[in-house]
């Protein structure tokens, strides 16, 4: 049987809903999870059949503790762990709880809104909603900070290579590691910088999204620290699907960072560079304006596995 992955490599859509749920204990949990897995498959199939051009999908990730609680398999995906905080001299990549993560996206907001309703109806008796964020496309894929987000994403076949597990973990081939963080931005402090100062924080031009040369780009810029290499000098990438969100009336603005990868160690190396620094102490300057308030690791099973879990 061919391996069918969940839709982890699609490009960002105009509308997105992110949801994180925490499972309760109880005799109904196992049956509810089986129904949930079947529902996720049905929601995706229905959206594709009804609106094939909508680019709609729902991707579900499962956390470490949920995997244990649900007794899904005695052998876990090799890098599925409970994320431990990464603490630097000034900033910390915090660790927060989360059992199930849902990433719903579509060009038509009505589709994912209805998907979220169906998922919530099924989970409400056995779980608690601990996070819900409605993201949106901001201009030409820019974050609220005003810079284009996701420029370093891989394209074409590289998206599958960097986002999906390969032969190194055959039992979970086609799956993906999903790491998420909710960032809140200090927009007053950010807007207090000149455009030139902002560009030095990011490492790119604001208007045209052109990366600075290595001779000009500060070593603590976001681009300098978030772009990482392996031991042999090969470039390591993740598939980002970040989305901005905000509430103008309360002056709250943020970015939901979401990364799919074939190995969590790649994402962890990037986070260590950002929060601890390379060398240590030379942390990512963007963290002076963007605070991570969540941080959770999930595993995204294949559609085949969802079918098995559904019973």
pLDDT at 189: 98
Residue 113 CB neighbour total at 10 angstroms: 14
Two tokens at 118? 């169906």
Q: Which residues of the chain have pLDDT under 50?
A: none
Task: Tell me the CA distances in angstroms from 113 to 39, 53, 110, one per residue in order.
Answer: 15, 17, 5
Query: What are the residue boundaries of the structural domains of the chain, listed by start?
Result: 15-309
Q: What is the pTM of this model?
A: 0.97
pLDDT (tens digit per residue) in 209-237: 999 999 999 999 999 999 999 888 889 99
Yes or no: say if 53 and 111 are a contact pair by the CB < 8 Å rule.
no
149 is catalytic: yes
Residue 30 CB neighbour total at 10 angstroms: 15
Task: Tell me the CA distances in angstroms from 55 to 10, 13, 17, 112, 273, one per residue in order.
Answer: 8, 7, 14, 11, 34
Task: Tell me the CA distances in angstroms from 50 to 7, 44, 45, 111, 244, one per residue in order.
Answer: 17, 10, 9, 10, 28
**Burial 268-303, CB ≥16 within 10 A → b, else e:** bbbbbbbbbbbeeebbbbbbebbbbebbbbbbbbbb
Contacts of 201 (CB under 8 A, 6+ apart): 193, 218, 221, 222, 285, 286, 288, 289
Of 99, 149, 241, 284, which one is the catalytic site residue?
A: 149
């Amino acid at each position: 049987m061919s391996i069918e992955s969940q839709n982890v490599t699609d490009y960002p859509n105009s509308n997105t809903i992110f949801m994180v749920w925490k499972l309760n204990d109880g005799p109904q949990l196992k049956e509810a999870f089986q129904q949930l897995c079947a529902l996720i498959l049905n929601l995706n199939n229905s959206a594709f059949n009804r609106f094939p051009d909508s680019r709609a999908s729902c991707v579900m990730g499962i956390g470490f503790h949920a995997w244990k609680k649900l007794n899904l398999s005695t052998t876990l995906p090799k890098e599925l762990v409970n994320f431990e905080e990464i603490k630097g001299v000034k900033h910390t990549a915090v660790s927060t709880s989360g059992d199930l993560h849902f990433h719903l996206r579509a060009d038509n907001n009505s589709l994912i809104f209805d998907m979220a309703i169906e998922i919530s109806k099924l989970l409400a008796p056995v779980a608690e909603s601990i996070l819900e964020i409605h993201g949106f496309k901001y201009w030409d894929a820019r974050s609220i900070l005003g810079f284009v987000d996701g420029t370093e994403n891989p394209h074409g076949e590289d998206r599958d290579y960097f986002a999906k597990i390969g032969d190194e973990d055959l039992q979970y081939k086609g799956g993906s590691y999903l790491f998420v963080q909710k960032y809140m931005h200090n927009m007053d402090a950010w807007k207090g910088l000149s455009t030139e100062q902002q560009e030095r924080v990011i490492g790119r031009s604001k208007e045209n999204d052109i990366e600075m040369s290595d001779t000009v780009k500060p070593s603590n810029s976001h681009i300098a620290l978030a772009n990482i290499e392996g031991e042999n000098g090969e470039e390591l990438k993740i598939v980002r699907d970040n989305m901005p969100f905000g509430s103008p009336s309360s002056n709250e603005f943020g970015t939901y960072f979401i990364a799919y990868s074939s190995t969590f160690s790649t994402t962890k190396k990037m986070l260590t560079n950002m929060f601890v620094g390379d060398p240590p102490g030379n942390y990512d300057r963007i963290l002076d304006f963007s605070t991570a308030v969540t941080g959770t690791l999930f595993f995204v099973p294949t559609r085949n596995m969802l079918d098995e879990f559904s019973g």
